[in-house]
Structure 1
Amino acid sequence: MPTYEYRCRSCGDTFQLSRPMSQSGAPARCPTGHDDTVKLLTTVGLSGSAGEPAAGGCCGGACGCST
């Protein structure tokens, strides 16, 4: 089940909820009871070994560039 991150506009706390994708846009109550929350946009980073990018360069490393 995906985990979504939310921020409470009332107290400023950030919290996470695991819920089905079909409920991702449903209102979320903050752990302290406030209803004025917003879902945050999160990104997922993929990396190779030792924290290096999974594919390098502008074309995924196929051209031999070293960016």
Structure 2
Amino acid sequence: MPIYEYDCDDCKEKVEVLVRGSETPACPTCGSESLTRRLSVVHAGNASPDPQPAPCRPGCCRIPS
């Protein structure tokens, strides 16, 4: 069961709704079924805790020395 992000067209809240199958989602704040689905942002973070080396030497590519 995916969670989708919506903008409620009636109360203007930004909400997340758990959607089961083909059911019509409703705003948890006001109960309206007049929702517009938002484009969700995916975080693609760096798994490495260590800083990555610069792509070239200092003084090149405008990297300060």
Give the TM-score range, shorter chain: 0.5 to 0.7
**DSSP 3-state at the match of 1:16:** strand
Q: Are 2:11 and 1:14 equivalent residues in the alignment?
A: no
- State the distance in 1 between where 2:34 and 2:2 align: 22
The answer for unaligned runs of 5 or more in structure 1 is 57-63
**Larger relative helix fraction:** 1
Q: Indicate the RMSD between aligned Cα atoms, in angstroms.
A: 3.1
Structure of higher CA gyration radius:
2
The question of whether the paired residues in 2 share the 8 Å contact of 1:27 and 1:37 is answered with: no
Change (3 A) 1:35 1:41: same
* Aligned residue-pair number: 53
Identity of aligned residues (%): 25
1:3 Cα deviation after fit: 1.5
Alignment correspondent of 1:39? 37
Q: 1:29 aligns with which of 21, 26, 36?
A: 26
- State the distance in 1 between where 2:31 and 2:16 align: 14
The question of whether the paired residues in 2 share the 8 Å contact of 1:5 and 1:15 is answered with: yes
